[in-house]
Structure 1
Amino acid sequence: MADPTRPKPQRILLVTGMLGAGKSTALRELEDLGWESIDNFPIRLLDRLVGHDDEPFSLAIGFDCRTRGFKPEDIIEQVKGWLEEDDIPITTLFLDCAGNELERRFNETRRRHFLAQDLPVASGIAAERELLAPLRRWADVLIDTTDFTVNDLKQTIRDQFSQTAPKDMTVTVSSFGFARGKPPTADLVFDMRYLDNPHWEPGLKEQTGLDKDVGDFIEKSAVFASTFDKIKSLLLELLPRYADQGKAYVNIAFGCTGGRHRSVYTAEKMAQVLRDGGFSPTVLHRNLGSRAAELVEGTQQT
C-alpha cells in the first residue's frame, strides 16, 4: 500500500540536444503549456530539484554542452537513479538537427559554436554530436528539427506534451459597448445589436443585463434562442480545439451598443453554458457601470 505521507510525484522532462536545434523554443512552449522551465541548470544541483517538493508540479530542465558539469554518462546515471523512485515520472527529450542546417543557423545568427571558438562551425558541431551520442541513444523522445520552422517545433511540442500539461486553458467571457470601442484582446467577438434594445423599453433603461426584467425582454426576441444556440454550438466545438493547439487564453466578447443590456445578459448566459460544458470561465463586464445615455445608444428604432 502506498504511503500517504510521501510527497506526491513530480513530472520531470529533461530537454537536451544539439545547439541550434531549438531547445530554447521548446522550453518556452513548455512554459506556455504550464511547465516550470529551467535552462542550463548546473548538473551537480539537479538532485536538489527532483523529489523534494510536497506539491506535485511539472518541471522541464534544459541542459546542453554549455551547462556546467555536463557529462552525458553521469547524467544518464543520475536519471537511472531517479527512475528507481517509481513515483517520479521522468522523460528525456533530445532535439536533433542535420549538420548542414545547424551550420546555416549559426552563420545566419553569426554566433560562435561553444566547442569551436577558433575553428569552423562544422568542427564544433561534429565534436558536439560525438559528445552527445550517449544521450541521443538514451532519450525517450527524439525530435529532428532539420526541416522545421519555429512554428513547426512549437506545434510538435504541443502535440507531444499538451496532454500532460498541468494547466487548463483560461477562458474569459466579457461584455462591452461598441460605442466605447471593441476590446483589442478579444479572440471571438459576437455582435448582439441585432436584438431589440432594452434601453428604449420603459422601465428598463436604468436596469442592466443582470436584472431579470431585462433578461425576460431579451428572451422574448424571436431570434434570440436560435442564434444563441448556434453560438453555443460553435464555442463548444472551438474551445476544445483551441486547447488541443496549446492556446493558453481565449477571450470571448459579446458586444452591444452601450455594453449594459444585451451583451451583459448574453455573456452571463453563455458563461453558465460553458460551466455546464466543463469549462471555468471568468466573466468581465467592461461597460456595465457606464451611464445610460441616449447619445450612446443611438436612435430608437420604430
Structure 2
Amino acid sequence: MDLLIVSGLSGAGKTVALRTLEDIGYYCIDNLPLFLLRELALGLKRTRLRAPGETRDGAAVGIDARNQPDFLADLPHVVEELREQGIDCRLIFLHADVHTLIRRFSETRRKHPLTGGERSLEEAIAHECELLAPLRGIAEIRIDTTHTNVHELRELVRERLASAGAVQASVLLQSFGFKNGVPDGVDFVFDVRCLPNPHWQETLRPLTGRDAPVIEFLERSPEVSQMAADMQHFLDRWIPRFETDGRSYLTIAVGCTGGQHRSVYLVERLARHLRSTGHRVLVRHRELP
C-alpha cells in the first residue's frame, strides 16, 4: 500500500497538495493525530481502502505542527516501522521563506495555528520550523513554494508522484536568478555566473535561454560548452550512486544572475542529456513567466 504523509509549514500549500492528491485518487485525511498513524496505516493495508470510483491503493495523510512535539519527534521511527511491515511510506514536505509566509497570512487574514499569547506571527513560524524539523529531515520530496502559485504547485505534485514508480531517480532541474535568492531544498546548486552574459547584448536582453539567438550566442563560447560537459559528466557519475543509495528524487538548481539566459539554456541542455540516458526529468524555470 502507498501511504503519503503530507506536511510542511502553515501557509506553504499543504491543503492544496492534499486536494491535488485527492483529485488523482488518494484517500485523504487532514490533520491526523500522530498517535493514530500506525493504526490507520495497518487498517488501510488490511481493507485496501480506496477513494470512491478509484483503483489506486493508497492514502495521503496531512500532519502538521498541531500535533504534540513528542509525537512529531517520534515520526521517523514510526515511518521505519511501517516500511518494515510492507507499507510504502513517503513524506512530502512543503515550505517557503518567512517573508512569503507572512505575506500570505496577511493577504488571507488567517490566523497561524501557533500564534497566541505573546507569540508574534514571525515567532510562530520560527517555532513551527523547529517543531517540524524531524519531518523535514526524512522527507523524500521537499517543495519550496516561495515562488510557486497554486496551479504550479498542483502540477508539480502530480509530476513528482507520477515519476515515483520509475526505476531511476526522478530529477527536477530548476533554473533561477541569484538576485532573487537560492532555492531551498535542492541537492545540488551550479553557479554559472562566470559564463558570457547575453544580457549585455541589447538584442538578446529581452529573450530567454530558450530562444535561438541566445542559444547561438552561448554555443559560440567554448567556456559554455565546457561547463555543460563538466556538469553532464558530474551528474552521469553521481546520480547512479544516489539511486543505488535508494534516492527516488533529486533536485538540481542552475543559477545565473537573473535566471533568464544562461541558467535556462543549461537546464534545457542538461534535461535533453539526462532524458537521452533514460531519466525522468522535470524542468522548472523559476524566473520565467
Match of 1:214 in 2: none
In structure 2, the residue matched to 1:100 is 99
Aligned pairs for 1:1-302 within 5 A: 10-52=1-43, 53-55=46-48, 57-67=57-67, 71-85=71-85, 87-118=86-117, 119-162=119-162
Shift of 1:98: 0.5
| Corresponding residue for residue 283 of structure 2 | none
The one-letter amino acid of 2:160's match is: Q
Unaligned residue ranges in structure 2 (runs of 5+): 50-56, 166-289
Q: Distance in 1 between matches of 2:73 and 2:67?
A: 14
Measured against aligned partners, the alpha-carbon deviations of 1:243-274 in whole angstroms (never above 9, x if no partner) come to xxxxxxxxxxxxxxxxxxxxxxxxxxxxxxxx
User: Scaled by the length of structure 2, what TM-score is found?
Assistant: 0.51
List alignment gaps of at least 5 residues for structure 1.
Answer: 1-9, 166-302
Whether the aligned pair in 1 keeps the contact of 2:35 and 2:71 (CA below 8 Å) is: no
One-letter amino acid matched to 1:126: A
CA RMSD of aligned residues (A): 1.9
Task: Give the partner amino acid of 2:5.
Answer: L
Contact preservation (8 Å) 1:17, 1:96: yes
CA contact (8 A) 1:43 1:70 kept: no
CA change 1:126–1:68 in 2 (3 A) is: closer
1:72 CA drift (Å): 2.0
Letter in 1 for 2:15: S
Structure 1 residues 13 and 136 mapped into 2: Cα distance closer, same or farther (>3 Å)? same
Alpha-carbon displacement from aligned partner over 1:147-171 (angstroms, at most 9, x marks no partner): 0100010010111113569xxxxxx
**Number of aligned residues:** 155
Q: Deviation at 1:81? A: 1.1
Query: 2 CA distance for matches of 1:156 and 1:28?
Result: 13
| Whole-Å separation in 2 of the counterparts to 1:131 and 1:113 | 14
Question: What SS does the aligned partner of 2:41 have?
Answer: coil
Q: What is the letter of the counterpart of residue 71 of structure 1?
A: F
Cα distance in 2 between the residues matched to 1:70 and 1:162:
33
Equivalent residue letter for 1:127: H
3-state secondary structure, aligned to 1:50: helix
Question: 1:213-237, CA deviations, whole angstroms, 9 ceiling, x for partnerless residues?
Answer: xxxxxxxxxxxxxxxxxxxxxxxxx
Question: For the residues of structure 1 that align with 2:163 and 2:139, how far apart are their CA atoms?
Answer: 20
CA distance in 1, matches of 2:134, 2:67: 16
1:69–1:99 Cα change, 3 Å: closer
Give, in angstroms, the shift of residue 67 of structure 1.
3.5
Task: Please give the secondary structure, in 1, of the residue aligned with 2:143.
Answer: strand
Cα distance in 2 for residues equivalent to 1:30 and 1:162:
11
Q: How far apart are residue 117 of structure 1 and its match?
A: 1.4
Task: Look up the SS of the partner of 2:42 in the other structure.
Answer: coil
The residue type paired with residue 55 of structure 1 is R
Amino acid at match of 1:82: L
CA distance in 2, matches of 1:32, 1:69: 31
Q: Name the structure 1 match of 2:271.
A: none
- Do the aligned partners of 1:43 and 1:69 also contact (CA within 8 Å) in 2? no
Offset, 1:111: 1.8
Structure label with greater radius of gyration: 1
Label 1:50 to 1:69 Cα distance change in 2 as closer, same or farther (>3 A): farther
Higher helix share: 2
Partners of 2:2 and 2:67 lie apart in 1 by 22
Asked if 2 retains the 8 angstrom alpha-carbon contact of 1:91 and 1:140, the reply is yes
SS in 1 for 2:66: coil
Taking the aligned partners of 1:145 and 1:49, their CA distance within structure 2 comes to 29
